[in-house]
Structure 1
Amino acid sequence: MQPVVRSLKILWVIARYRLDTFFHHAAMPWYVRVCFVLLPWRYLIPAKAPRGMRLRLALEALGPVFIKFGQMLSTRRDLLPDDVAIELARLQDQVPPFPATKARAIIEAELGKSVDELFQSFDLEPMASASVAQVHSAVLHDGRAVVIKVIRPGIERVIRQDVDLLYTLAWLLCQLWVDGRRLRPVEVVSEYEQTIFDELDLRKEAANGSQLRRNFEGSSILYVPEIYWDFTRRNVLAMERIYGVPVADMEQLRAQNTNLKKLAEQGVEIFFTQVFRDSFFHADMHPGNIFVSRDNPEQPQYIAVDFGIVGSLSAEDQSYLARNLLAFFRRDYRQVAQLHLDSGWVPESTNVHAFETAIRSVCEPIFEKPLKEISFGLVLLGLFQTARRFNMEVQPQLVLLQKTLLNIEGLGRQLYPDLDLWKTAKPFLENWMKDRIGPRATYRALKLQAPELLEKLPQLPQLIFDTLQHTRKGSDDSAELLREIERERKRSRKRWQRRLLIGATFLAAAVVVAEPEVKAALDVWPWQAWFLAALGWIMIWRA
């Protein structure tokens, strides 16, 4: 009964916010257009608000799972019109909290002890409540202040039902809308399903936080709170409590005389360090997850929380991305086009000259602006949208990267509007490329592989002998296979000749039998001649 009620609620929300207007009726089959014309709410509920606002309000009305989906969808600017993506980005991750008694019961069930035994004190009033979890403050018996994140009870079942409905809607979108397949809604839902179910296992988030903390151990620009594994399970996470200024609270930052220019530049440095040095980046760096330490306003330090979504790049993607960005800002569009082909992001059959021309037509207007006004995130977006016209496959790791870069860039410009992102990033990229490609990189690679090479050196003669033996055996096997193929070819040729001969014989017999004199002499019926002819053609066809 519950899925039926849920489906009826979704139908009501679709009607209330006139989501039917998102479909281009002319691109649909006639019978679908007739169904849309007959929808009763078309004549009762006007679609006054902009389409992006109506979609955002509809997702908010459908609850936390759909809100989370809308947030993820807002990052797919390669698939959505700008007005819709911008409106979806406004979705807030705040929902009513669930009762503290349930949070307490979950903690006790997961950790196997009562809250009073586990903590010196535990605040029943939640600090924050999000779509899949809420956070309580507590103090350990040794006096350390912590935050306890608890997964919402029953949320996995609710998410599974809603994700199944999303798959149904995605399938209908593909069937009813010509552009539906191009937008790949089923793959978008699949990506969302993996992301949100990963977030339901807080051990994964804790592991991400531990890795990020290790990467920035001792850093003066980013602090990552400590994870307390003794109090962490699938549905419960314990983390060091931090005290900082929310990065979006400009009033407090100015009141404590924070060096905003330095803070903005350090945000860029943190992003590129995560992407190119560590290949492990916090992919949910919106203002709600970023704080600024109060300790030293002149040398400010970021504090990051919420590690449910992280991204990484392969060494090849790192290299291609860095070279793409450097080539782009040098206006070397031929190299940008060639790098997209070399990386496999677009098909090998792509006309590199046409691709280069398309990139130039998109990028040249951007360079009419001063460098400090050029949006790095929109540069990537422009490149990906252009590449998509040349059948570029959607690269999930690049979508996460673009989302993170847009967050960082928006944050940096909010802190310091005159931030020149390119001036800050270019030296980092150039030094990284030199370090990766130069003699030092070759020396490091040899040094890293030296123990393994030395270990295998005594085995080298045997390995060479085994390889030669294997090659020889492979050659013998190949020769035997070729001989077998030749024998089969001869047998096939004989079968072909035999069937052709039999077929020709049947046809000749049919012609002879069809002669009036022969037919009278042998007392043959006409159907017998046709039967012989049919047999002849069948044998020839088989040959």
Structure 2
Amino acid sequence: MIPIRPVFRVLYAGLRYRLDTILSDFVADHWLRWFLPATYLPKPKSSSATRLKQALIHLGPIYVKFGQTLSTRRDLLPDEFADELATLQARVPPFDSKIAVERVEQELGAPLAELFTSFEQEPLASASLAQVHAAILLDGSEVVVKVIRPDAEDAIHRDMRMIKGVAKFLERVSGIARRLHMIEVVTDYEAAILAELDLTQEGQNTTRLRTNFASSELLYAPRVYTHVTTKNILVLERIRGIPVSELDTLNALDVDVKLLAKRGVETFFTQVFDHNFFHADMHPGNIFVDVTNPKKPSYIAVDCALFGTLSTEDQTFIARNIIAFFNRDYGEIARLHVESGWVPDESKIGEFEELIQELLEPFFEKPLSEISFGQFLLNLFTAARQFEMEVRPQLVLLQKTLLQVEGLGRQLDPNLDLWSTAKPFMERWMQTKYGPLKTIQATLDHAPEIMLELPFLPELLATARRTITKLNYKAAYQHQRINELNTNLQRAKRASFARRFVGVLLLGGTVIAWNITRAPPNSFFTSTLLAVIGICGLIFLLSR
């Protein structure tokens, strides 16, 4: 059950920032629109996207993080909303350090003095879910201690019940909300934010990233001290680096920023295509630079709560799309979308190809150094929205991360040519996965199974045509049944609307008649009749 207080908080924010104008778009074809102020009042001067952003800030950190998540779903949201929500920043004051110390001692089962030689009371940083303190372990290791806020989980569950309630309501009354898969988006967000509360998982992610780059000069991940790490406490090696956003400092130290920019792209593609495990929150606050050797700088990654992986099919889809893009083969891009299931088989591929060409051709008016892979994927998602296609969440995560990497790279080197760096990765990965040697190796690996199946090959070839005919017949029959079910569903919806409309008329008529007949003495018959009519109207209105 949703608590009353969060309901009133959301209603107040909705009224204060006139979110009824957004809701009216969702219920434009529903009778609820007649109960919204937007139907009768003029629109506010500020845009709907700006007012939604202001409302989320008013509601607090959990809603702000939800808005940040929504901003990455450009396959679902108009650009105006995505751009506005992308600027959201959660400003959360630190909680009392005494509470942090108590939580550390409670989680680790020992007094602070038995765990650390020193523990700084003033936090280094504070966020919506946790804050970080500097400390020194008994063996002299300098560390940072990340402590989950004591009220974080309760706040998440409370706010998520409210957000899910709104999503369910919108999906019930709005076709737009159903197309946007509001409940699914909210469920994904809930799973992601609850996962951030488990610091043991973040520790495992950090350790895996550290292992993946153990012999590489590209990236360093801090050591995790597992003996003092729990679900609510994470102890990491304290790193010393320059924030990647401090370009003036890097230049003053004579750091080779061009090499650093190139290595950022190499690091990203190595994670995606070689390791298939990529840091999915690479904003400037999570990336530092090791300047021990300014001529060979490397990256240091922190905050490893959010990571992404891709299936082999998704990896292949991205690689082949990028290669087709630079070959300007828009037909191949359209075919890849059909093969991957993004576009239904019955879609007009010619129209989709024309849309792809319209969106991507302007890229080639720029030099290669200005072409953005992230924007390329973003344009594909724009096409997805126009064709009402569904985009896998992991690909959306990849696109967001790629935009972050490109932004960092171009900040360091405005002339960064991503294609010259990415192309070797694409070609090598495709050769490794689908080259002749890989085919021969796969054949040898499955040789025993192939030999066992060979005797059945003639029979399979002889019956293939009949089998395909039967499958086509079954598919046609299922298609017919689906059409019948859709027809019956539309009839049921029309009948439901008619019942509710009649219910509104009966209730409205009862109220009017009651007011008209209230002045003179009412007969028992009249009162009973109006009550019966009103009850019938209420039954019609509430029936499904």
Of the three residues 354, 367, 371, the one matched with 2:368 is 371
Percent identity reads 50
- Equivalent residue for 1:295? 292
Of the three residues 52, 63, 68, the one matched with 2:65 is 68
- Equivalent residue for 2:14? 14
CA distance in 2, matches of 1:86, 1:38: 24
For residues 246 and 444 of structure 1, do their structure 2 counterparts lie closer, same or farther at Cα, with a shift above 3 Å needed? farther
Question: What do residues 460-508 of structure 1 show as CA deviations (whole Å, max 9, x unaligned)?
Answer: 99x889x99xx9xxxxxxxxxxxxxxxxxxxxxxxxxxxxxxxxxxxxx
Question: What do residues 116-154 of structure 1 show as CA deviations (whole Å, max 9, x unaligned)?
Answer: 111111111111111111111110111111111111112
Structure number with greater Rg is 1
- Equivalent residue for 1:196? 193
The answer to whether the aligner puts 1:438 opposite 2:435 as a matched pair is yes
- Equivalent residue for 2:77? 80
CA distance in 2, matches of 1:443, 1:26: 55
CA distance in 2, matches of 1:426, 1:71: 31
For residue 309 of structure 2, what is the amino acid of its counterpart? Answer: S
The answer to whether the aligner puts 1:50 opposite 2:47 as a matched pair is yes
- Equivalent residue for 1:183? 180
For residue 156 of structure 1, what is the amino acid of its counterpart? Answer: E
- Equivalent residue for 1:334? 331
SS at 2:132 equivalent? strand
Contact 2:198 2:231 (8 Å CA) reproduced: yes
For residues 431 and 29 of structure 1, do their structure 2 counterparts lie closer, same or farther at Cα, with a shift above 3 Å needed? closer
Q: CA deviation at 1:370?
A: 2.2
The alignment covers a number of residue pairs equal to 457
Question: What do residues 87-129 of structure 1 show as CA deviations (whole Å, max 9, x unaligned)?
Answer: 2122224411111111112211211111111111111111111
For residues 340 and 142 of structure 1, do their structure 2 counterparts lie closer, same or farther at Cα, with a shift above 3 Å needed? same
- Equivalent residue for 1:533? none
How do 1:409-428 residues align onto structure 2 when only pairs under 5 Å count?
409-428=406-425
CA distance in 2, matches of 1:67, 1:429: 36
Contact 1:276 1:318 (8 Å CA) reproduced: yes
Of the three residues 246, 249, 254, the one matched with 2:251 is 254
How do 1:390-429 residues align onto structure 2 when only pairs under 5 Å count?
390-429=387-426
For residues 26 and 124 of structure 1, do their structure 2 counterparts lie closer, same or farther at Cα, with a shift above 3 Å needed? closer
Contact 1:28 1:178 (8 Å CA) reproduced: no
CA distance in 1, matches of 2:271, 2:172: 41
Q: CA deviation at 1:332?
A: 0.8
Contact 2:20 2:37 (8 Å CA) reproduced: no
Of the three residues 123, 139, 142, the one matched with 1:142 is 139
Q: CA deviation at 1:404?
A: 0.6
Contact 1:163 1:193 (8 Å CA) reproduced: yes
SS at 2:157 equivalent? helix
For residue 280 of structure 2, what is the amino acid of its counterpart? Answer: A
For residues 74 and 422 of structure 1, do their structure 2 counterparts lie closer, same or farther at Cα, with a shift above 3 Å needed? same
- Equivalent residue for 2:466? none
The answer to whether the aligner puts 1:228 opposite 2:225 as a matched pair is yes
How do 1:308-347 residues align onto structure 2 when only pairs under 5 Å count?
308-347=305-344
For residues 392 and 97 of structure 1, do their structure 2 counterparts lie closer, same or farther at Cα, with a shift above 3 Å needed? same
Contact 1:347 1:391 (8 Å CA) reproduced: no
Question: What do residues 348-390 of structure 1 show as CA deviations (whole Å, max 9, x unaligned)?
Answer: 3333333322212222223222222222111112112223444
Contact 1:122 1:136 (8 Å CA) reproduced: yes
CA distance in 2, matches of 1:300, 1:132: 32
For residues 24 and 420 of structure 1, do their structure 2 counterparts lie closer, same or farther at Cα, with a shift above 3 Å needed? farther
Q: CA deviation at 1:27?
A: 5.5
Contact 1:377 1:406 (8 Å CA) reproduced: yes
CA distance in 2, matches of 1:196, 1:358: 36
CA distance in 1, matches of 2:23, 2:325: 36
For residue 164 of structure 2, what is the amino acid of its counterpart? Answer: Y
- Equivalent residue for 2:103? 106
SS at 1:365 equivalent? helix
- Equivalent residue for 1:356? 353
For residues 82 and 97 of structure 1, do their structure 2 counterparts lie closer, same or farther at Cα, with a shift above 3 Å needed? same
Q: CA deviation at 1:333?
A: 1.2
- Equivalent residue for 2:505? none
CA distance in 1, matches of 2:398, 2:117: 41
CA distance in 2, matches of 1:328, 1:203: 41
CA distance in 1, matches of 2:337, 2:256: 39
- Equivalent residue for 2:210? 213
For residue 112 of structure 2, what is the amino acid of its counterpart? Answer: V
CA distance in 2, matches of 1:85, 1:299: 37
- Equivalent residue for 2:494? none
TM-score (norm 2): 0.78
For residue 18 of structure 2, what is the amino acid of its counterpart? Answer: R
The answer to whether the aligner puts 1:4 opposite 2:4 as a matched pair is yes
- Equivalent residue for 1:34? 34
Q: CA deviation at 1:411?
A: 1.4
CA distance in 1, matches of 2:77, 2:191: 21
For residue 340 of structure 1, what is the amino acid of its counterpart? Answer: H
CA distance in 2, matches of 1:256, 1:350: 56
For residues 232 and 341 of structure 1, do their structure 2 counterparts lie closer, same or farther at Cα, with a shift above 3 Å needed? same
Q: CA deviation at 1:178?
A: 4.1
Deviates more, 1:202-211 or 1:25-34: 25-34
- Equivalent residue for 2:263? 266
Contact 1:28 1:176 (8 Å CA) reproduced: no
CA distance in 1, matches of 2:119, 2:379: 49
TM-score (norm 1): 0.79
Cα RMSD of the aligned pairs, angstroms, is 2.7
Q: Structure 2: 5+ residue runs without aligned partners?
A: 460-544
Contact 1:69 1:192 (8 Å CA) reproduced: yes
Q: CA deviation at 1:196?
A: 0.6
Q: CA deviation at 1:320?
A: 1.9
CA distance in 1, matches of 2:313, 2:126: 39
Contact 2:288 2:300 (8 Å CA) reproduced: yes
Of the three residues 112, 117, 128, the one matched with 2:114 is 117
Q: CA deviation at 1:32?
A: 2.3
